[in-house]
Amino acid sequence: MNLVLLGPPGAGKGTQAERLAEEFELPHVASGDLFRENLKNKTELGLLANRYIAEGELVPDDVTIAMIRDRIKRPEYENGVILDGFPRTLAQAEGLKEILTGLGRTLDGVLYIAVPDEELVHRLSGRRICRRCQTPYHIQFKPPQKQGVCDTCGANIYQRDDDKPETVRARLEVYHQQTSPLIDFYRQYGLLTEVDGSGDIETVNSALSEVVRSLMK
Ligand code: ADP
Ligand code: ADP
Ligand code: ZN
């Protein structure tokens, strides 16, 4: 089962990917997490990506596609993967098709998590993530059990620089221009299921689980 979670920044892709990964025993891959790991390790890719991330722009397609190709050909993803944050452009969608075809696989479904912009700003401004494992939290909607500390791994949580208001606006614009065309692109292939992402985490999770279960039949 190869799935894509599509949606604007702050829609809940990372939050829901983690839940679905656990429920369906499908590992997930988040392009943003991979870039941030590269930056933490000061790799060439990380330093390059950060120039774009800091401005709220997309990292160029060629490096992004290469990074994802490299990752999902690993044996741990052989039985399937949940992609979060990739693809984000039509060129990346074509890239994904090629990657999967090369591995003798196909895309089974795209779950589009729809959330209005006003709500996204609220979610992004309160988001905190774990420095080590990148689990997302929210100061109001999903606080960690112990303030400032990740429930999963015990490391510190922090606010991403690109979750500050100036960059959030740029990211939403980039989403509407470059990523939202993927909604119709995948709809046209009959791969898209839209889920209302404006409810609470549990409600959205139930809706998504049901879609995945029906795709598995
Ligand atoms: P994305 O990966 O799509 O950018 P995240 O999963 O990181 O989104 O969620 C963005 C922020 O909103 C996080 O702080 C998360 O805790 C919070 N969040 C996620 N889903 C919901 C929800 N359904 N209701 C309220 N807050 C949510
Ligand atoms: P969010 O959770 O808010 O959707 P991500 O963590 O997925 O944000 O991405 C953070 C930043 O990393 C993006 O604003 C962009 O600069 C870069 N990025 C992540 N995924 C991609 C991608 N598929 N293509 C290009 N840039 C990406
Ligand atoms: Zn952690």
Q: Residues 45-76: pLDDT tens digits?
A: 999 999 999 999 999 999 999 999 999 999 99
Q: For residue 30, report the distance from its CA to the centre of ligand 2, in Å.
A: 9
Q: Mean pLDDT across the stretch 103-122?
A: 97
CA distance 49 to 58: 8
Domains of the chain in sequence order: 2-116+179-216 (3.40.50.300)
| pLDDT band at 44; cut points 50, 70, 90 | very high
Q: Mean pLDDT across the stretch 34-50?
A: 97
Which of the residues are catalytic?
13, 88, 127, 160, 171
Q: Mean pLDDT across the stretch 143-169?
A: 96
| pLDDT band at 78; cut points 50, 70, 90 | very high
Q: For residue 98, report the distance from its CA to the centre of ligand 1, in Å.
A: 30
The answer to whether the beta carbons of residues 68 and 86 sit under 8 Å apart is yes
- The per-residue pLDDT of the chain, averaged, comes to 97
Asked whether 12 lines ligand 2 (CB < 6 A), one says: no
First to last CA, the chain: 11
Percent of the chain with pLDDT over 70: 100
pLDDT for the residue 29? 98
What is the DSSP pairing of strand 2-6 with strand 109-114? parallel
